[in-house]
Amino acid sequence: MPAGVKKVSVLGVPMDLGASKLGAAGGPDAIRRAELIPSLERLGLDVEDVGDIDVPERPAKPGSPKLRFKTPILKVCSDLCDEVYSIHKSGRLPVTLGGDHALAMGSVSGTAKYYAGKKQAIGLIWVDAHGDINTPETSPSGNIHGMPVAHLLGLGDRQLASIGGRGPKVKARNIVLVGIRDLDDNEKKNLRDSGVTVFTMKEVDRYGMAWVAQKAIEQAGDQTSGIHMSFDVDAADPSVAQGTGTPKRGGLTYRESHLIMEMVADSEMLAALDMVEINPLEDVHNQTAGLASELIQSALGKRIF
């Protein structure tokens, strides 16, 4: 994280409205149970747990099949944007616990709004098995957790793309996707057309995580003042992260997951962090939430030696 930043605010978003499976709403509490707050305090950080964003009850009907549960998701993400912005204003680094990945429309927008107020830009490193760059027109499911990158680029639904202000929240050239291994056919075209940088698992396999992470940091940090990191736990292989709604074999190892977090910490560019898609209903003995807690610690400066 930025040099000298020692204050962290943790907030939860107990939402699974954007996902196909129920359960991610329990993610924030599961991560907290994995000793997150005391572990961060042991790193010498001033940690404030601000509680959870209010999430409406799941409506009986999802609304538009192309944008399922858009209305409550828009409300949650708008509130989250305001909260993240306020945390930045108070001189603290926001750590958002999810909850499904649709929440990043709010968290990243809050970070972008704060830096835009200082006439500065941010980069975004998106660690995920999926591209999350579908639009309502290309999504095969209508689940909004598959659309946040598109909306952060100013594409898709006008209201979702305008959370925290109109226009792209991050320039395409400063968005880097890492660990991708599961894309819809139309989503592949969206990715090619978008101009974002993509490191699939093929690049991780071929060049190693150290090379991929360094390139990601350089690209997201190029002419920006901070990097918002959004980590979907399904980026990790199910053998180490079973407790998620959309597991996909062939993901990041335990050490690869930690290494990218450690390298972002070393860069001193971290401006904000999301840890999402932890689903305790799919987990065993809270192991995935434990991994999430450990990864957050690595991103915030925990060292092996």
| Active-site amino acid positions | 101, 128, 130, 132, 145, 232, 234, 277
Sheet (strand 46-52) strand order: 46-52, 7-13, 93-98, 270-276, 227-232, 123-127, 175-180, 197-200
Burial per residue of 59-77, b for 16 or more beta-carbon CB atoms within 10 angstroms, e otherwise: eeebeeebbbbbebbbebb
For the stretch 64-68, contacts whose Cβ atoms lie closer than 8 Å and that sit 24 or more positions apart, written own/partner, are: 64/136, 64/142, 65/142, 66/136, 66/137, 66/139, 66/142, 67/136, 67/142, 67/144, 67/157, 67/160, 68/17, 68/18, 68/141, 68/142, 68/143, 68/144
For residue 175, what are the CA distances in angstroms to 8, 56, 171, 290? 24, 30, 7, 27
Selection from 16, 36, 5 nearest residue 295 by Cα: 36
Q: Is the peptide bond before 110 cis (omega within 30 degrees of 0)?
A: no
Residue 129 main-chain phi, psi, to 5 deg: -75, -25
